[in-house]
Structure 1
């Protein structure tokens, strides 16, 4: 690491020494609060609709994808880029500015009503993060990692589109625009998760199980990535409807199938006694199943769109986030890669949250509202456990005294 003044680095508030610290902690606490509000809204115990930007469905979709998931992704990428390039990651005042922009937008969208000011505030933090991500990558000419920066700009564009929908500045039916934009965001985020997961899960599994290295076979990697990136292009570009009716379900199914081929080589059967590993594997299989289900939905509509989407968002993305932040927070704070029973309970809670939001509703559609409340409550339990247990990990200096 090119850190020249360790004493100066140690004077930085621990919370802002690397991006994973404020964003993992802040996003986790925020998601627990948000899902509490969501559960209370569906339970009918009180009218919370005025708290949620005047549009609960829009707010839930936006905040769980942009406010929560993108914050975790940015915390991860701005931390990982330090390992990729050897350049110090963003920290101190610059990191605090990005985080405070994120926080201000979250408060505004929870307590306020649709307003251009909140839109502007919420459109600042992701491009800033993209700049600080791209800068060391370009300096080191690590072009294979540069694609993450334009993907963050794509998410900024989609974030702006969601805000325009909330402000009524859009064409066509609002519900259709919200649904299609949400699907696009979920697809882009899913591919980011699959790409990152495909890089780290085999490595973590190899190291964690002390077995032979899991090599990345070029042909299989290309086979998985080709339909993945074609799927991103399909949801981003104005594909004619006649073509889209065939291409969209086909690409979802192909993406799921090719990632399944990739996944079966990762020795999942060896991870059952290692929570930091099996949690990653379970989340990845949720992603794959969700891809198949979305493909089948767009092909024949026999599977609920909402159920298929939440297989990916709750079980896949939510599960992957919880597993990754639990591991990354330990590793980057100089702690052993071991978790106790409470974190295992959190992993189980997020899996049950996904099943309550999907399988329970499939089997018992008359209890859909109950499923929403149960799923949200289990999510709150999972991320509350993380927030409480990892608060000292993320707000105190590394155990080994190193920067970061």
Structure 2
């Protein structure tokens, strides 16, 4: 009888490659790459070089893909990396991780085929990743008693359902995008608590008095409540005056969180400074929205506030999480390279140019500079991190 051949012991599966060992290795570079792709396409659309092959307002679809493409991919990478560590459960890796990444990619392909595929098919495919992600991480969150992190993911699923309904009924995405914005702001403020503890306490380590940074939950909960109320007001379409006061309350509540940061040495590192700026961008962004809604500032201040929240708040926070989690989980110490430092400066500049440029220099077209700086930031990130995610963890 012929003996069966055996697979050599050293042969490994395709899914055993380092890139599939943790969520950040797959989702972080994919998200950064898609951020560059999306913003370049949007810039070319603004310049009338390209036309988005969709029947609805291209601006709405630009916003949709930044939320459900870029931010959702980054969120998936963070949760699939951090939640197993927090809950002391097995890593989300191998074929399971590759399957989640495939769902994200399928959603992106389906979106760009909206003119070919039916809207029902497109939006069903779009909803697969948030649903699958919730199924995978929910048991781990439950075990770690961190169930509060599931609510932003649930809100994201609701946002996509609302987007589908709006698109089918009236061809717009206003309410769904408002829910998505609220979901991501809540997710960022929730995720920044443990991240900022690590970063600020690292900055405080040079002090001799043993000072420890612990963000107080009541302050964060107050901000989450105000932002939730403001999001609900936008979805329900209540008066501009009420929305304006809720936006102002959100600004005050976010900036109130920074009371915990005012300790000598807390901003010693570049990482701490960047995270500190995230809160300021959120706070000023909500204040600009409030000024526009209440008629205290020009009507354009509302759009400026939106972009300060999108770029300075959400995008800068996402960039910092991609950087900090990527370095730590790949085995590197938290040292900011010149390349990543230049990327952070480019992203902050993109925020200031896009949000304040139209208010201060209304006759100047700042769009090309803004989207170019945004694309540059994530291009520099990719140059730095692609070699990192493709190899085994580094041991310093």
TM-score under structure 1 normalisation? 0.85
Report if aligned partners of 2:278, 2:317 keep a CA contact under 8 Å in 1: yes
Counterparts in 2 of 1:112 and 1:181: CA distance versus 1, 3 Å: closer
Residue from 154, 164, 178 that aligns with 1:183: 178
Does 2:192 match 1:193? Answer: no
Residue from 118, 121, 124 that aligns with 2:122: 118
Report if aligned partners of 2:32, 2:381 keep a CA contact under 8 Å in 1: yes
Partner of 1:87: 89
User: Once structures 1 and 2 are overlaid, which stretch shifts more, 312-321 or 76-85?
Assistant: 76-85
Report if aligned partners of 2:15, 2:94 keep a CA contact under 8 Å in 1: no
Report if aligned partners of 2:83, 2:137 keep a CA contact under 8 Å in 1: yes
Q: CA deviation at 1:73?
A: 1.3
The two structures, once aligned, show a CA RMSD in angstroms of 2.6
Deviation digits for residues 1-51 of structure 1 (CA, Å, limit 9, x no counterpart): xxxxxx99997222221212211110100110111111122123x23323x
Q: CA deviation at 1:234?
A: 4.0
In structure 1, how many angstroms separate the alpha carbons of the residues matched to 2:87 and 2:72? Answer: 22
Counterparts in 2 of 1:55 and 1:249: CA distance versus 1, 3 Å: closer
Report if aligned partners of 1:59, 1:109 keep a CA contact under 8 Å in 2: no
Partner of 1:32: 36
Partner of 2:215: 216
Deviation digits for residues 312-363 of structure 1 (CA, Å, limit 9, x no counterpart): 0011111111111111100001111112111111000001111111111111
Partner of 1:4: none
Does 2:294 match 1:299? Answer: yes
Higher relative contact order (CA 8 A, sep 6+): 1
Does 2:326 match 1:329? Answer: yes
User: Once structures 1 and 2 are overlaid, which stretch shifts more, 332-341 or 145-154?
Assistant: 145-154
Query: Which of the two has higher C-alpha Rg?
Result: 2
Partner of 2:140: 136
Partner of 2:51: 48
Partner of 1:3: none
In structure 1, how many angstroms separate the alpha carbons of the residues matched to 2:13 and 2:253? Answer: 44
Partner of 1:153: 154
Deviation digits for residues 373-392 of structure 1 (CA, Å, limit 9, x no counterpart): 21111111000010111001
User: Once structures 1 and 2 are overlaid, which stretch shifts more, 86-95 or 309-318?
Assistant: 86-95
Aligned length: 378
Report if aligned partners of 2:229, 2:246 keep a CA contact under 8 Å in 1: yes
User: Once structures 1 and 2 are overlaid, which stretch shifts more, 293-302 or 20-29?
Assistant: 293-302
Partner of 2:21: 17
User: Once structures 1 and 2 are overlaid, which stretch shifts more, 117-126 or 208-217?
Assistant: 208-217
In structure 1, how many angstroms separate the alpha carbons of the residues matched to 2:123 and 2:308? Answer: 29
Partner of 1:351: 348
Give structure 1 regions of 4+ aligned residues with deviation exceeding 3 angstroms: 7-11, 52-55, 163-166, 216-226, 228-236, 244-247, 267-273
SS at match of 1:147: helix
Does 2:308 match 1:311? Answer: yes
Partner of 2:380: 385
Unmatched 5+ residue regions in structure 1? 1-6
In structure 1, how many angstroms separate the alpha carbons of the residues matched to 2:147 and 2:393? Answer: 29
